[in-house]
Amino acid sequence: MISAHEALERLREGNRRFRDDGTSSEALTDRARRREVAEGQEPFAIILGCSDSRVPAEIVFDQGLGDLFVIRVAGNIVAPSQIGSVEFAVEQFSTRLVVVLGHSQCGAITATVEQLKRPLPDQSKHLRSIVDRVRPSVEPLLATNLRDRPDELIHEAGRANIRMSVNQLRHGSEILEHLIRHDGLLIVGAEYSLETGRVDFFDL
């Protein structure tokens, strides 16, 4: 088991390689690696990320097979199934770093802002279930002057949504709370820039 801080540094280094076009993951997806991970896995980090096709965690962190336990859902929201998946990974694999990975220009954030400004009565209940989980992080911002600055609003709402998901993981599970207090579990937020490829870690 590697520590949360060592795992975080691995992710930072991997993202630097990705940004510099110096990726090394080919060696981590070859036949030998496939055979190795077929016997078992030891992911060093858990990534709760957005389903957006432009933000595949293994690629933006330059990691290979078996390195990351990835959970993806639109808007990187936290629902019971996501909490359960994180609990499973931390207990099964002794992984001690959880990263909530959002990104710039997130469609789930934009959809929530639009729904709050102009409610759509015919919106599907399934999409609404995502919007309703993002809503608490967006609503307070609409009461500020950001309401009239759409680009800044989306940026700040995305960050707020990441922080909310981090907080829900930190305080929504007795198992995770115990591991944070007693066994070195670290849950952090991060935002991937579609424009630069950089991952900015925050809320450490």
pLDDT at 23: 73
pLDDT at 20: 93
Residue 178 pLDDT > 60: yes
Q: Which residue has the higher pLDDT, 120 or 88?
A: 88
pLDDT at 182: 97
Q: What are phi and psi of 63, to 5 degrees?
A: -120, 160
Residue 26 pLDDT > 60: no
- Separation of alpha carbons 86 and 48, rounded Å: 8
Q: What is the CA angle 170-152-79, rounded to 5? A: 30
- Give the pLDDT band of residue 121 (cuts 50, 70, 90): confident
Residue 28 pLDDT > 80: no
The model's pTM is 0.93
- Give the pLDDT band of residue 25 (cuts 50, 70, 90): low
Q: What is the CA angle 55-60-64, rounded to 5? A: 115
H helix count then E strand count, the chain: 8, 5
The CATH class of the 4-202 domain is alpha beta
Rounded mean pLDDT of 180-186?
A: 97
Closest by Cα among 171, 4, 168 to 98: 4
Q: What is the pLDDT of residues 123-144, one digit of tens each?
A: 778 888 888 899 999 899 988 9
Rounded mean pLDDT of 183-189?
A: 98
